Amino acid sequence: MAAYKRILLKLSGEALGGESARGLDKAALQMAAGEIRDVCSAGIELAVVVGAGNFVRGAESAALGIERATADYMGMAATLLNALALQSAVEAMGYSTRVLTAIKADEMAEPYIRRRAMRHMEKGRVVILAGGTGNPYCTTDTAAALRAIELDCKAILKATKVDGVYTNDPLTNPNALRYDSISYSQAIRENLRIMDSTAFTMCQENRVPIIVYSMKIPGNTIKAAIGQTIGTTVAGG
């Protein structure tokens, strides 16, 4: 039995770029679509917020002399590319989807309207959310927290390249220790950077747990969705 009736999956752009974390990778797209298929097969309603790091990165934009607001709008546009690619991959597996965007793109996607998104999920469609919040200076982590709260999602599944939250970066520090669970306050206090502080605060205030796990292992998403102990759970306090 599923632990959550409705969840939000936060999927980074890098996850769709494969090993290079750049552009779009066929195998990575199919793997992400397979994880979504498994969740849908369990009867869980699903919204997905996609990032854009495989196309636009803040540090690179700054190095090119692109101002922050402009770079953020470029990132919003890039999330739409990822959303459309993911839509095609999921629908190829036989599941109905809708792309809803916070930025105007009528020829490619529906505008984000809260009640419309909820209705799509109630009908069993995967709702893929693009365009972030539609505002610069807001990350896709913040967009994920906001949409999860608006759409009454019972948890955020944060798919990453590592298998949870660590005391330090496990990719550079082999002695880093993984938390099985951690409070929002501790994550903010220790600056663990799983999500930005705005997203953490929103989840804390609205009691939305965040489950952080590795996207590299097939089947992890459905395990998290049905309540198996996996990765790190951020909740409480």
Kindly state whether residue 169 falls inside one of the protein's structural domains.
yes
Q: How confident is the model at residue 172 (pLDDT cuts 50, 70, 90)?
A: confident
pLDDT at 141 over 80: yes
Kindly state whether residue 32 falls inside one of the protein's structural domains.
yes
Mean pLDDT, rounded, for 29-41: 96
Structural tokens at position 44: 């869980």
Kindly state whether residue 1 falls inside one of the protein's structural domains.
no
Number of domains in the chain: 1
Kindly state whether residue 145 falls inside one of the protein's structural domains.
yes
Report the C-alpha dihedral over residues 123, 124, 126, 127, rounded to 10 degrees: 30
Kindly state whether residue 225 falls inside one of the protein's structural domains.
yes
Kindly state whether residue 148 falls inside one of the protein's structural domains.
yes
Q: How confident is the model at residue 91 (pLDDT cuts 50, 70, 90)?
A: very high
Contact call for residues 98 and 62 (beta carbons, < 8 A): no
State the residue range of the domain holding 186.
6-234
Mean pLDDT, rounded, for 194-213: 92
User: What mean pLDDT is reported for the chain?
Assistant: 93
Q: How confident is the model at residue 2 (pLDDT cuts 50, 70, 90)?
A: low
Report pLDDT digits (tens) over 221-234: 999 999 898 999 99
Q: What is the pLDDT of residue 182?
A: 93
Report pLDDT digits (tens) over 42-67: 999 999 999 999 998 877 888 889 99
pLDDT at 194 over 90: no
CA distance 112 to 87: 16
> What is the domain-level CATH number for residue 130?
3.40.1160.10
Question: Considering the chain, what percentage of its residues have pLDDT values greater than 90?
Answer: 75
pLDDT at 191 over 90: no
Kindly state whether residue 198 falls inside one of the protein's structural domains.
yes
CA distance 181 to 158: 14
Q: What is the pLDDT of residue 131?
A: 96
Q: What is the pLDDT of residue 57?
A: 83
Mean pLDDT, rounded, for 99-104: 97
